[in-house]
Structure 1
Amino acid sequence: MAPLKFYADLRSQPCRAVYLFMKCCNIPFELVKVDLFTGEQLQETFTKIHSVQRVPVIDDNGFILGESGAIFRYLSRKYSVPDHWYPKDLQEQSKIDEYLNWHHSSIRQPCMMTFRHEFINTVRGRPVKEEERQVYQLQLLNSLRHLDEFYLKDTPFLNRNDISVADFQCLSELMQLEAINDESMYMSNPKLGAWSKRVKEAAGPHLQVCMDEGVNMMKSVYDTMKKSKL
Protein backbone atom coordinates (compact mmCIF):
# COMPACT_ATOMS: atom_id res chain seq x y z
CA MET A 1 0.00 0.00 0.00
CA ALA A 2 1.36 3.39 -0.99
CA PRO A 3 2.01 6.06 1.65
CA LEU A 4 -0.71 8.66 1.94
CA LYS A 5 -0.41 11.84 -0.06
CA PHE A 6 -0.32 15.06 1.90
CA TYR A 7 -1.41 18.10 -0.09
CA ALA A 8 -0.01 21.15 1.65
CA ASP A 9 1.79 24.46 1.62
CA LEU A 10 3.98 24.92 4.70
CA ARG A 11 3.25 28.63 4.61
CA SER A 12 -0.20 27.54 5.83
CA GLN A 13 -0.57 27.25 9.58
CA PRO A 14 -2.78 24.08 9.68
CA CYS A 15 -0.50 22.42 7.12
CA ARG A 16 2.48 22.97 9.41
CA ALA A 17 0.60 21.47 12.36
CA VAL A 18 -0.30 18.30 10.46
CA TYR A 19 3.20 18.05 8.99
CA LEU A 20 4.82 18.23 12.44
CA PHE A 21 2.41 15.66 13.83
CA MET A 22 3.04 13.14 11.05
CA LYS A 23 6.80 13.63 11.25
CA CYS A 24 6.93 13.24 15.03
CA CYS A 25 4.76 10.11 14.81
CA ASN A 26 6.77 8.57 11.93
CA ILE A 27 3.70 8.36 9.71
CA PRO A 28 4.90 7.81 6.13
CA PHE A 29 3.59 10.30 3.59
CA GLU A 30 4.34 11.92 0.27
CA LEU A 31 4.27 15.71 0.41
CA VAL A 32 2.49 17.18 -2.61
CA LYS A 33 3.04 20.93 -2.60
CA VAL A 34 0.10 23.17 -3.40
CA ASP A 35 1.22 26.77 -3.89
CA LEU A 36 -1.38 28.94 -2.18
CA PHE A 37 0.30 32.16 -3.25
CA THR A 38 -0.22 31.36 -6.95
CA GLY A 39 -3.70 29.93 -6.37
CA GLU A 40 -2.99 26.29 -7.18
CA GLN A 41 -5.70 25.29 -4.70
CA LEU A 42 -8.25 26.97 -6.98
CA GLN A 43 -7.20 25.20 -10.15
CA GLU A 44 -9.04 22.26 -11.64
CA THR A 45 -6.29 19.77 -10.87
CA PHE A 46 -6.65 20.29 -7.12
CA THR A 47 -10.40 20.95 -7.19
CA LYS A 48 -10.90 17.44 -8.57
CA ILE A 49 -9.15 16.13 -5.46
CA HIS A 50 -10.98 18.31 -2.95
CA SER A 51 -13.67 20.71 -4.10
CA VAL A 52 -13.45 22.89 -0.97
CA GLN A 53 -10.16 24.21 -2.42
CA ARG A 54 -8.27 24.36 0.84
CA VAL A 55 -5.25 22.64 2.33
CA PRO A 56 -4.30 20.51 4.16
CA VAL A 57 -5.81 17.46 2.47
CA ILE A 58 -4.73 13.84 2.69
CA ASP A 59 -5.34 11.08 0.14
CA ASP A 60 -5.00 7.75 1.93
CA ASN A 61 -5.15 5.36 -1.02
CA GLY A 62 -8.35 6.91 -2.34
CA PHE A 63 -9.80 8.11 0.97
CA ILE A 64 -9.80 11.92 0.77
CA LEU A 65 -9.95 14.03 3.92
CA GLY A 66 -9.53 17.74 4.59
CA GLU A 67 -9.51 19.94 7.70
CA SER A 68 -6.61 19.60 10.10
CA GLY A 69 -8.73 18.61 13.11
CA ALA A 70 -10.35 15.75 11.20
CA ILE A 71 -6.95 14.67 9.85
CA PHE A 72 -5.48 14.58 13.36
CA ARG A 73 -8.29 12.33 14.58
CA TYR A 74 -8.17 10.02 11.57
CA LEU A 75 -4.41 9.50 11.67
CA SER A 76 -4.39 9.04 15.45
CA ARG A 77 -6.94 6.26 15.17
CA LYS A 78 -5.41 4.56 12.14
CA TYR A 79 -1.76 4.56 13.17
CA SER A 80 -0.14 3.36 16.35
CA VAL A 81 0.88 6.78 17.61
CA PRO A 82 1.76 7.51 21.25
CA ASP A 83 -1.48 8.01 23.14
CA HIS A 84 -0.62 11.48 24.41
CA TRP A 85 -1.07 13.00 20.94
CA TYR A 86 -4.81 12.27 20.91
CA PRO A 87 -5.74 10.04 23.85
CA LYS A 88 -8.18 7.14 23.67
CA ASP A 89 -9.61 8.10 27.04
CA LEU A 90 -12.90 9.90 26.32
CA GLN A 91 -12.48 12.72 28.82
CA GLU A 92 -8.85 13.44 27.93
CA GLN A 93 -9.75 13.33 24.24
CA SER A 94 -12.62 15.72 24.81
CA LYS A 95 -10.32 18.28 26.44
CA ILE A 96 -8.21 18.31 23.27
CA ASP A 97 -11.36 18.62 21.17
CA GLU A 98 -12.39 21.53 23.37
CA TYR A 99 -9.22 23.38 22.41
CA LEU A 100 -9.37 22.44 18.71
CA ASN A 101 -12.92 23.81 18.47
CA TRP A 102 -12.07 26.98 20.41
CA HIS A 103 -8.93 27.50 18.33
CA HIS A 104 -10.69 28.38 15.06
CA SER A 105 -12.50 31.48 16.25
CA SER A 106 -10.25 32.50 19.14
CA ILE A 107 -6.67 31.96 17.92
CA ARG A 108 -6.76 31.21 14.21
CA GLN A 109 -9.16 33.93 13.08
CA PRO A 110 -7.61 36.96 14.84
CA CYS A 111 -4.05 35.72 14.27
CA MET A 112 -4.68 35.07 10.59
CA MET A 113 -6.35 38.46 10.10
CA THR A 114 -3.56 40.27 11.96
CA PHE A 115 -1.10 38.60 9.60
CA ARG A 116 -3.17 39.28 6.49
CA HIS A 117 -3.64 42.97 7.18
CA GLU A 118 0.08 43.47 7.76
CA PHE A 119 1.71 40.98 5.38
CA ILE A 120 -0.54 41.01 2.32
CA ASN A 121 -0.99 44.78 2.22
CA THR A 122 2.74 45.33 2.73
CA VAL A 123 3.73 42.83 0.03
CA ARG A 124 1.20 44.31 -2.40
CA GLY A 125 2.39 47.83 -1.69
CA ARG A 126 -0.86 48.90 -0.13
CA PRO A 127 -1.31 50.88 3.09
CA VAL A 128 -2.00 48.76 6.14
CA LYS A 129 -5.50 49.31 7.49
CA GLU A 130 -4.25 50.05 10.97
CA GLU A 131 -7.64 50.41 12.66
CA GLU A 132 -8.78 46.98 11.43
CA ARG A 133 -5.44 45.47 12.31
CA GLN A 134 -5.74 46.79 15.86
CA VAL A 135 -9.20 45.24 16.21
CA TYR A 136 -7.82 41.78 15.43
CA GLN A 137 -4.75 42.34 17.59
CA LEU A 138 -6.99 43.14 20.55
CA GLN A 139 -9.04 39.98 19.92
CA LEU A 140 -5.84 37.96 19.75
CA LEU A 141 -4.47 39.47 22.94
CA ASN A 142 -7.68 38.52 24.75
CA SER A 143 -7.35 34.96 23.45
CA LEU A 144 -3.70 34.78 24.47
CA ARG A 145 -4.75 35.80 27.96
CA HIS A 146 -7.20 32.90 27.95
CA LEU A 147 -4.41 30.53 26.89
CA ASP A 148 -2.41 31.72 29.87
CA GLU A 149 -5.19 31.70 32.44
CA PHE A 150 -7.14 28.62 31.32
CA TYR A 151 -5.37 26.23 28.93
CA LEU A 152 -1.97 26.62 30.61
CA LYS A 153 -3.24 27.35 34.11
CA ASP A 154 -1.84 24.23 35.79
CA THR A 155 -0.13 22.28 33.02
CA PRO A 156 3.00 22.68 30.85
CA PHE A 157 1.02 21.94 27.67
CA LEU A 158 -2.53 22.88 26.63
CA ASN A 159 -4.80 21.23 29.19
CA ARG A 160 -2.26 18.42 29.60
CA ASN A 161 1.02 17.40 31.19
CA ASP A 162 2.24 16.05 27.85
CA ILE A 163 2.15 17.42 24.33
CA SER A 164 -0.84 16.80 22.05
CA VAL A 165 -2.04 17.79 18.60
CA ALA A 166 -3.59 20.88 20.22
CA ASP A 167 -0.13 22.29 20.95
CA PHE A 168 1.03 21.91 17.35
CA GLN A 169 -2.20 23.47 16.11
CA CYS A 170 -1.78 26.47 18.38
CA LEU A 171 1.96 27.01 17.90
CA SER A 172 1.74 26.70 14.11
CA GLU A 173 -0.77 29.54 14.10
CA LEU A 174 1.18 31.81 16.43
CA MET A 175 4.39 31.20 14.44
CA GLN A 176 2.73 33.16 11.63
CA LEU A 177 3.35 36.31 13.68
CA GLU A 178 7.11 35.74 13.34
CA ALA A 179 6.83 36.47 9.61
CA ILE A 180 5.72 40.02 10.40
CA ASN A 181 8.06 40.48 13.39
CA ASP A 182 5.10 40.47 15.77
CA GLU A 183 5.95 37.37 17.83
CA SER A 184 6.36 39.46 20.99
CA MET A 185 2.56 39.41 21.24
CA TYR A 186 2.85 35.95 22.73
CA MET A 187 6.57 35.49 23.44
CA SER A 188 6.58 38.41 25.90
CA ASN A 189 4.19 36.44 28.12
CA PRO A 190 6.45 34.31 30.36
CA LYS A 191 4.08 31.35 30.48
CA LEU A 192 3.38 31.35 26.74
CA GLY A 193 7.04 31.89 25.95
CA ALA A 194 8.03 28.87 28.05
CA TRP A 195 5.24 26.78 26.52
CA SER A 196 6.28 27.67 22.95
CA LYS A 197 9.86 26.66 23.74
CA ARG A 198 8.69 23.26 25.03
CA VAL A 199 6.56 22.66 21.94
CA LYS A 200 9.35 23.69 19.59
CA GLU A 201 11.75 21.34 21.36
CA ALA A 202 9.24 18.51 21.02
CA ALA A 203 8.99 19.19 17.27
CA GLY A 204 12.72 18.65 16.98
CA PRO A 205 14.45 19.08 13.61
CA HIS A 206 11.11 18.99 11.78
CA LEU A 207 10.37 22.49 13.01
CA GLN A 208 13.22 23.89 10.93
CA VAL A 209 11.60 22.63 7.72
CA CYS A 210 8.43 24.53 8.64
CA MET A 211 10.48 27.62 9.38
CA ASP A 212 12.53 27.46 6.19
CA GLU A 213 9.68 26.64 3.81
CA GLY A 214 7.03 28.63 5.62
CA VAL A 215 7.70 31.36 8.17
CA ASN A 216 11.22 32.41 7.13
CA MET A 217 10.30 32.50 3.46
CA MET A 218 7.43 34.88 4.18
CA LYS A 219 9.52 36.93 6.60
CA SER A 220 12.17 37.45 3.94
CA VAL A 221 9.59 38.78 1.49
CA TYR A 222 8.00 40.97 4.16
CA ASP A 223 11.30 42.45 5.37
CA THR A 224 12.38 43.21 1.79
CA MET A 225 9.16 45.06 1.06
CA LYS A 226 9.33 47.01 4.34
CA LYS A 227 12.89 48.13 3.57
CA SER A 228 11.91 49.21 0.06
CA LYS A 229 9.48 51.70 1.56
CA LEU A 230 12.07 53.38 3.75
Structure 2
Amino acid sequence: MSLKLYFDLMSQPSRALYILLKNIKYDFTPMPVDLRKGEHYSEDYAKINRFQKVPVIDHNGFVLTESVAILKYLSREGIIPESLYPRGNKQAARVEEFLEWQHAGLRLHCAMFFRVKVLDPLVTGRPVDNKQVEGYLRRMENALDSFDSLWLGQGHQFITGDNICVADLLAACEVEQPRMAGYDASAKYANIAGWMQRVKSHFNPHYDEGHMIVNKLIEKQRKTAAKL
Protein backbone atom coordinates (compact mmCIF):
# COMPACT_ATOMS: atom_id res chain seq x y z
CA MET A 1 0.00 0.00 0.00
CA SER A 2 1.41 3.39 -1.01
CA LEU A 3 0.36 6.75 0.43
CA LYS A 4 1.87 10.10 -0.49
CA LEU A 5 1.04 13.21 1.54
CA TYR A 6 1.51 16.59 -0.13
CA PHE A 7 1.74 19.17 2.64
CA ASP A 8 3.26 22.31 4.10
CA LEU A 9 3.62 22.57 7.88
CA MET A 10 2.47 26.19 7.72
CA SER A 11 -0.94 24.83 6.70
CA GLN A 12 -3.20 23.87 9.61
CA PRO A 13 -4.88 20.81 8.01
CA SER A 14 -1.53 19.73 6.57
CA ARG A 15 -0.13 19.66 10.09
CA ALA A 16 -3.08 17.65 11.35
CA LEU A 17 -2.68 14.93 8.71
CA TYR A 18 1.11 14.84 9.09
CA ILE A 19 0.86 14.47 12.88
CA LEU A 20 -1.91 11.88 12.58
CA LEU A 21 -0.02 9.63 10.17
CA LYS A 22 3.11 9.89 12.28
CA ASN A 23 1.16 9.12 15.44
CA ILE A 24 -0.47 5.97 14.07
CA LYS A 25 2.91 4.91 12.61
CA TYR A 26 1.53 4.64 9.09
CA ASP A 27 4.21 4.29 6.43
CA PHE A 28 3.68 7.25 4.11
CA THR A 29 5.84 9.25 1.73
CA PRO A 30 6.13 12.94 2.74
CA MET A 31 5.83 15.26 -0.28
CA PRO A 32 6.59 18.80 0.98
CA VAL A 33 5.10 21.70 -0.98
CA ASP A 34 6.62 25.07 -0.05
CA LEU A 35 3.75 27.56 -0.12
CA ARG A 36 6.04 30.51 0.63
CA LYS A 37 7.97 29.78 -2.57
CA GLY A 38 4.75 29.39 -4.54
CA GLU A 39 5.37 25.74 -5.38
CA HIS A 40 1.63 25.07 -5.24
CA TYR A 41 1.20 27.34 -8.27
CA SER A 42 3.49 25.30 -10.49
CA GLU A 43 2.16 23.47 -13.53
CA ASP A 44 3.34 20.16 -12.13
CA TYR A 45 1.46 20.63 -8.87
CA ALA A 46 -1.67 21.80 -10.69
CA LYS A 47 -1.72 18.35 -12.32
CA ILE A 48 -1.88 16.83 -8.83
CA ASN A 49 -4.40 19.28 -7.36
CA ARG A 50 -6.37 21.48 -9.72
CA PHE A 51 -7.20 23.77 -6.76
CA GLN A 52 -3.46 24.27 -6.08
CA LYS A 53 -3.78 23.90 -2.32
CA VAL A 54 -2.56 21.54 0.40
CA PRO A 55 -3.02 18.95 1.78
CA VAL A 56 -3.47 16.27 -0.86
CA ILE A 57 -3.06 12.51 -0.69
CA ASP A 58 -2.22 10.03 -3.41
CA HIS A 59 -3.25 6.57 -2.23
CA ASN A 60 -2.19 3.96 -4.77
CA GLY A 61 -3.01 6.40 -7.57
CA PHE A 62 -6.25 7.70 -6.01
CA VAL A 63 -5.74 11.44 -5.54
CA LEU A 64 -7.92 13.24 -3.01
CA THR A 65 -8.06 16.85 -1.87
CA GLU A 66 -9.75 18.57 1.12
CA SER A 67 -8.69 17.57 4.63
CA VAL A 68 -12.09 16.45 5.94
CA ALA A 69 -12.71 14.29 2.87
CA ILE A 70 -9.23 12.82 3.36
CA LEU A 71 -9.93 12.00 7.01
CA LYS A 72 -13.21 10.28 6.13
CA TYR A 73 -11.55 8.32 3.35
CA LEU A 74 -8.63 7.19 5.52
CA SER A 75 -11.11 6.05 8.15
CA ARG A 76 -13.17 4.02 5.69
CA GLU A 77 -9.95 2.47 4.36
CA GLY A 78 -9.12 1.31 7.87
CA ILE A 79 -5.95 3.43 8.02
CA ILE A 80 -7.11 5.61 10.91
CA PRO A 81 -7.72 3.39 13.95
CA GLU A 82 -11.21 3.24 15.41
CA SER A 83 -9.91 4.79 18.62
CA LEU A 84 -9.34 8.07 16.73
CA TYR A 85 -12.22 7.84 14.24
CA PRO A 86 -15.10 5.67 15.50
CA ARG A 87 -16.74 3.26 13.07
CA GLY A 88 -20.14 3.18 14.79
CA ASN A 89 -22.71 5.35 13.03
CA LYS A 90 -23.67 7.59 15.95
CA GLN A 91 -20.11 7.94 17.26
CA ALA A 92 -18.80 8.74 13.77
CA ALA A 93 -21.63 11.24 13.32
CA ARG A 94 -20.47 13.09 16.45
CA VAL A 95 -16.99 13.42 15.00
CA GLU A 96 -18.36 14.58 11.66
CA GLU A 97 -20.72 17.03 13.37
CA PHE A 98 -17.65 18.93 14.52
CA LEU A 99 -15.76 18.46 11.24
CA GLU A 100 -18.68 20.13 9.43
CA TRP A 101 -18.97 22.94 11.99
CA GLN A 102 -15.30 23.83 12.17
CA HIS A 103 -14.96 25.08 8.58
CA ALA A 104 -16.95 28.27 9.18
CA GLY A 105 -17.24 27.98 12.95
CA LEU A 106 -13.53 28.00 13.86
CA ARG A 107 -11.08 27.64 10.96
CA LEU A 108 -12.30 30.64 8.96
CA HIS A 109 -11.88 33.11 11.80
CA CYS A 110 -8.54 31.90 13.18
CA ALA A 111 -7.09 31.77 9.67
CA MET A 112 -8.36 35.20 8.66
CA PHE A 113 -7.02 36.86 11.81
CA PHE A 114 -3.57 35.43 11.03
CA ARG A 115 -3.90 36.43 7.40
CA VAL A 116 -4.83 40.09 7.89
CA LYS A 117 -2.35 40.66 10.73
CA VAL A 118 0.66 38.75 9.40
CA LEU A 119 0.34 37.13 6.00
CA ASP A 120 -1.18 39.89 3.86
CA PRO A 121 1.30 42.60 5.05
CA LEU A 122 4.17 40.15 4.49
CA VAL A 123 3.07 39.29 0.94
CA THR A 124 1.96 42.75 -0.19
CA GLY A 125 4.44 44.91 1.72
CA ARG A 126 1.59 47.11 2.90
CA PRO A 127 1.32 48.09 6.59
CA VAL A 128 -1.07 46.31 8.93
CA ASP A 129 -4.62 47.69 8.78
CA ASN A 130 -5.36 47.91 12.50
CA LYS A 131 -9.06 48.56 12.02
CA GLN A 132 -9.36 45.46 9.87
CA VAL A 133 -7.39 43.44 12.41
CA GLU A 134 -9.71 44.58 15.21
CA GLY A 135 -12.72 43.41 13.22
CA TYR A 136 -11.25 39.98 12.60
CA LEU A 137 -10.14 39.75 16.22
CA ARG A 138 -13.75 40.21 17.35
CA ARG A 139 -14.94 37.54 14.92
CA MET A 140 -12.23 35.13 16.01
CA GLU A 141 -12.97 35.63 19.70
CA ASN A 142 -16.67 35.05 19.04
CA ALA A 143 -15.70 31.76 17.40
CA LEU A 144 -13.35 30.85 20.26
CA ASP A 145 -16.10 31.69 22.77
CA SER A 146 -18.38 29.21 21.03
CA PHE A 147 -15.67 26.57 20.80
CA ASP A 148 -14.67 26.99 24.44
CA SER A 149 -18.21 26.88 25.85
CA LEU A 150 -20.36 24.92 23.39
CA TRP A 151 -17.85 22.21 22.46
CA LEU A 152 -15.32 22.05 25.31
CA GLY A 153 -17.47 23.30 28.17
CA GLN A 154 -19.82 20.35 28.24
CA GLY A 155 -18.19 18.43 31.08
CA HIS A 156 -15.98 16.10 29.06
CA GLN A 157 -12.30 15.94 28.24
CA PHE A 158 -12.40 16.24 24.47
CA ILE A 159 -14.62 17.59 21.70
CA THR A 160 -16.93 14.60 21.29
CA GLY A 161 -16.61 13.09 24.77
CA ASP A 162 -13.93 11.66 27.03
CA ASN A 163 -12.00 9.99 24.21
CA ILE A 164 -9.69 11.91 21.90
CA CYS A 165 -10.40 11.76 18.15
CA VAL A 166 -9.33 13.32 14.86
CA ALA A 167 -11.61 16.30 15.53
CA ASP A 168 -9.41 17.31 18.46
CA LEU A 169 -6.24 17.22 16.38
CA LEU A 170 -7.76 19.19 13.52
CA ALA A 171 -9.10 21.83 15.91
CA ALA A 172 -5.85 22.12 17.85
CA CYS A 173 -3.93 22.85 14.65
CA GLU A 174 -6.42 25.62 13.84
CA VAL A 175 -6.14 27.16 17.32
CA GLU A 176 -2.33 27.18 16.98
CA GLN A 177 -2.43 29.43 13.89
CA PRO A 178 -3.22 32.77 15.65
CA ARG A 179 -0.19 32.26 17.91
CA MET A 180 1.92 33.37 14.93
CA ALA A 181 -0.02 36.64 15.08
CA GLY A 182 0.63 37.08 18.80
CA TYR A 183 -2.66 35.62 20.03
CA ASP A 184 -2.65 32.60 22.35
CA ALA A 185 -6.18 31.33 22.96
CA SER A 186 -4.96 29.22 25.88
CA ALA A 187 -4.15 32.39 27.80
CA LYS A 188 -7.78 33.57 27.72
CA TYR A 189 -9.93 30.44 27.57
CA ALA A 190 -9.63 27.95 30.44
CA ASN A 191 -11.35 25.06 28.65
CA ILE A 192 -9.15 25.52 25.58
CA ALA A 193 -6.01 25.67 27.74
CA GLY A 194 -6.68 22.35 29.47
CA TRP A 195 -7.84 20.66 26.29
CA MET A 196 -4.78 21.81 24.31
CA GLN A 197 -2.46 20.25 26.87
CA ARG A 198 -4.33 16.94 26.66
CA VAL A 199 -4.20 16.94 22.86
CA LYS A 200 -0.48 17.75 22.82
CA SER A 201 0.23 15.06 25.40
CA HIS A 202 -1.59 12.42 23.35
CA PHE A 203 0.04 13.24 20.00
CA ASN A 204 3.56 14.12 21.15
CA PRO A 205 6.36 13.93 20.14
CA HIS A 206 4.77 14.23 16.71
CA TYR A 207 2.61 17.22 17.69
CA ASP A 208 5.71 19.29 18.44
CA GLU A 209 7.39 17.99 15.29
CA GLY A 210 4.43 19.09 13.20
CA HIS A 211 4.55 22.56 14.78
CA MET A 212 8.31 23.05 14.58
CA ILE A 213 8.05 25.78 11.91
CA VAL A 214 5.21 27.53 13.76
CA ASN A 215 7.15 27.48 17.02
CA LYS A 216 10.37 28.70 15.37
CA LEU A 217 8.52 31.67 13.86
CA ILE A 218 6.93 32.51 17.20
CA GLU A 219 10.31 32.34 18.96
CA LYS A 220 11.86 34.56 16.27
CA GLN A 221 9.06 37.11 16.74
CA ARG A 222 9.57 36.99 20.52
CA LYS A 223 13.30 37.68 20.20
CA THR A 224 12.69 40.52 17.74
CA ALA A 225 10.13 42.12 20.06
CA ALA A 226 12.52 41.82 23.02
CA LYS A 227 15.12 43.87 21.13
CA LEU A 228 12.72 46.75 20.44
**Distance across 1 between alignment mates of 2:119 and 2:81:** 39
Asked if the contact 1:144–1:186 (Cα under 8 Å) also holds between the matched residues in 2, the reply is: no
Question: Quick one: which amino acid aligns to residue 172 of structure 1?
Answer: C
Partner SS, residue 83 of structure 2: helix
**Distance across 1 between alignment mates of 2:80 and 2:12:** 22
Partner residue in 2 for 1:198: 198
Task: Name structure 2 gaps, 5 residues minimum.
Answer: none
Partner residue in 1 for 2:157: 156
Asked if the contact 1:113–1:133 (Cα under 8 Å) also holds between the matched residues in 2, the reply is: no
Q: How does 1:49-88 map to 2 (within 5 A)?
A: 49-88=48-87
Cα offset for 1:50? 1.2
Partner SS, residue 70 of structure 1: helix
Task: Name structure 1 gaps, 5 residues minimum.
Answer: none
Cα offset for 1:225? 7.0
Partner residue in 1 for 2:173: 172
Question: Quick one: which amino acid aligns to residue 180 of structure 1?
Answer: A
Q: How does 1:111-130 map to 2 (within 5 A)?
A: 111-123=110-122, 125-130=125-130
Cα offset for 1:217? 3.8
Q: How does 1:38-49 map to 2 (within 5 A)?
A: 38-49=37-48
The TM-score, its normalising length taken from structure 1, stands at 0.90
**Distance across 1 between alignment mates of 2:220 and 2:38:** 18
**Distance across 2 between alignment mates of 1:82 and 1:4:** 16
Q: Deviations over 1:86-130 (max 9, x none)?
A: 111111111111111111112111101110111124535532111
Partner residue in 1 for 2:15: 16
Q: How does 1:91-106 map to 2 (within 5 A)?
A: 91-106=90-105
**Distance across 1 between alignment mates of 2:5 and 2:120:** 30
Q: Deviations over 1:164-215 (max 9, x none)?
A: 11111110011112222211x3432111100000001111100121221x31
Partner residue in 1 for 2:211: 211
**Distance across 1 between alignment mates of 2:224 and 2:51:** 32
Asked if the contact 2:15–2:211 (Cα under 8 Å) also holds between the matched residues in 1, the reply is: no
Asked if the contact 1:5–1:30 (Cα under 8 Å) also holds between the matched residues in 2, the reply is: yes
RMSD: 2.0
Cα offset for 1:224? 7.0
Percent of aligned pairs with the same amino acid: 34
Cα offset for 1:6? 0.4
**Distance across 2 between alignment mates of 1:108 and 1:135:** 16
CA separation of 1:82/1:187 partners in 2, compared to 1, >3 Å: closer, same or farther? farther
Partner SS, residue 48 of structure 2: coil
Count of matched residue pairs: 226
Asked if the contact 2:3–2:59 (Cα under 8 Å) also holds between the matched residues in 1, the reply is: yes
Q: Deviations over 1:54-91 (max 9, x none)?
A: 10000011000111111111111213543131111111
**Distance across 2 between alignment mates of 1:87 and 1:25:** 15
Question: Quick one: which amino acid aligns to residue 86 of structure 1?
Answer: Y
